[in-house]
Structure 1
Amino acid sequence: MASLTEILILRGIVPIEKLDTVSGSSAEDDGQVLELLDRGDITPSQIASARAAQAGLPFVELLDYPIDRAAVAMVPPAMCRRHEVLPIGIVANTLMLAMVDPGDVFALDDVRAASRMQARPVVAERSDLRAAIDRYHRADGELVSLSTALEEESSGTDLVLSSAQQEASEDDAPIVRFVNLLISQGIQDHASDIHIEPGEFELRVRYRIDGVLHEMQTAPKAVTNGVISRLKIMSDIDIAERRKPQDGRMSVSHGGRTIDLRVATLPTVFGEKVVMRILDNTVTGMGMEELRLLPHNFEAYRSSYTKPYGMILVTGPTGSGKSTTLYTTLHAVAKPEINVITVEDP
């Protein structure tokens, strides 16, 4: 069986000169790989992919993988964290299990016992796997309990909260806690957007992470009006108007940072849909070099934004970095000797 270093050399990731130092010892091979990682010559993802090739198993990147929530629910959260595993799908009555170490037989045995299914390991990078476990297990228990509390509170009828009722509500009210948790979880998961979509039988919540929408939570249909009204109050949007699209803005504090959210509502057949774009104000502390533009593009852009006149159009699809580019440029040009005025809508 080829060593990790040999696989990395064959893939052109590590210089072939390293082949002379490869030994037959697996401990020495692991030590060499860790040394290359510490020096920044290779990435954790490349190591995980090589480890998968060494074991003859598939390698998955969980951010892009369509994870089956039904499969996730088959293994308790505590077991997933203890063994660093996550079920990601069911194929031919076999549980697909993302693992850091596919040779961990104890983890495989525990998962088989918990799910009562055969488990087939696939390899994932450790930080990617931990982030996925957090995404699917971290707040699920609390969200489910809040959904239950909201359902009991509604007693089978729609929750329609007036502005006065919303403002007078306590911070620990189920609706307030539910909305706060959805927003804080989206920020922690580095989502660019939060989609709150009413359906015929339930309220669905999805996060856009790295350009891909991930379904995170569902809530009882009865709480739709209460959740939407809470978000509209926070965004200074007219809660009485439900027949036309509206835009608003809110700011929240998370982990000592101020996070802006652009909020848009859109009427649908089953109620108003809300989309929140998360704008992290900490990007204003970035330098222009951190945008990682190609050298010739950077020079062309710098010569444009340093001129005393003119107009720059920044265009691109959702999540491409338009707001980040503008925030960073604004930070670069805002100096005591220059008067800067910004106009935003919303």
Structure 2
Amino acid sequence: MPLESALLNLLVDKGIISNPKKSVVIGECEEYEKSVIATVISLSYAEPKQLMDLLAEEYALPSMDFSQFNPKTAPQKYLNEDYCMKYELVPMGVVDNTLYLAVSDPSCPKAIEGLDAFATKYGISTDMIVVEEDKLQRALTILFRKNINLADDEKQEGNWFD
């Protein structure tokens, strides 16, 4: 798994992790084949919201509290389980012929490849909205649970992350 060295350097430059912690992150990423963002969070080096805010600012992208996203409003046409799981993206909506996809790490080559894959498959422009890693993973789990009917899911009342 190629490591996002620019992202690691950014985290060091912003004082989120130290150089010794950077080495730990690299080792954990390689051993467990997890992303830099997921690894930094699992090691408790940073909070998901802190990383979301940093990445949104660094890449000049919008961000949102993904706990406010209701899966019933996800554009069903674009809920391709293979693509969403492979690229770790969640379609959020279409505005002015642009499909907005939730992503936790806009620097990740897999996410960038995913934007291109969605654009090619569906013939639509794509763009990213940065969300917190833990909430993105939870959304992927909820959206693609087998035998789920979102209309009947009692968790849809209020905060769907409860």
Give TM class, smaller chain: 0.5 to 0.7
Instruction: Give the aligned partner of residue 135 of structure 2.
Output: 128
Instruction: Give the aligned partner of residue 95 of structure 2.
Output: 91
Instruction: Give the aligned partner of residue 81 of structure 1.
Output: 85
What displacement does 1:126 show? 1.5
Matched AA of 1:208: K
- Contact between 1:48 and 1:125, CA under 8 Å: does it hold in 2? yes
Q: 2: CA distance between counterparts of 1:66 and 1:99? A: 16
Q: 2: CA distance between counterparts of 1:40 and 1:113? A: 37
Q: Deviations over 1:159-187 (max 9, x none)?
A: xxxxxxxxxxxxxxxxxxxxxxx9xxxxx
| Aligned counterpart in structure 1 of residue 47 of structure 2, from 36, 43, 48 | 43
- Contact between 2:64 and 2:130, CA under 8 Å: does it hold in 1? yes
> Structure 1 residue 33 and structure 2 residue 16: aligned?
yes
- Contact between 2:62 and 2:130, CA under 8 Å: does it hold in 1? yes
Structure with a larger share of its residues in strand: 1
Instruction: Give the aligned partner of residue 137 of structure 1.
Output: 144
Q: 2: CA distance between counterparts of 1:75 and 1:26? A: 28
What displacement does 1:102 show? 2.1
What displacement does 1:66 show? 3.7
Structure 2 unmatched runs, 5+: 1-5, 22-39
Which of the two has higher C-alpha Rg? 1
Instruction: Determine helix, strand or coil for the equivalent of 2:61.
Output: coil
- Contact between 1:96 and 1:120, CA under 8 Å: does it hold in 2? yes
Instruction: Determine helix, strand or coil for the equivalent of 1:33.
Output: coil
- Contact between 2:71 and 2:143, CA under 8 Å: does it hold in 1? no
TM-score (structure 1 length as normaliser): 0.33
Structure with a larger share of its residues in helix: 2
- What does 1:1-346 correspond to in 2, within 5 Å? 27-31=8-12, 32-34=15-17, 35=21, 40=44, 42-67=46-71, 69=73, 71-103=75-107, 104-139=111-146, 142-143=147-148, 204-208=151-155, 211-212=158-159
Instruction: Determine helix, strand or coil for the equivalent of 2:93.
Output: strand
What displacement does 1:76 show? 1.4
Matched AA of 2:127: R
Gap change, CA 1:70 and 1:209, over 3 Å in 2: closer
Identity between Structure 1 and Structure 2 (%) = 21
Instruction: Give the aligned partner of residue 32 of structure 2.
Output: none
Matched AA of 2:133: R
- Structure number with greater CO (CA < 8 Å, separation at least 6) is 2
Q: 2: CA distance between counterparts of 1:130 and 1:40? A: 17
Q: 2: CA distance between counterparts of 1:28 and 1:207? A: 43
Paired residues in the alignment total 131
RMSD over aligned CA atoms reads 3.2
Structure 1 unmatched runs, 5+: 1-24, 145-181, 183-203, 215-318, 320-346
Instruction: Determine helix, strand or coil for the equivalent of 2:92.
Output: strand
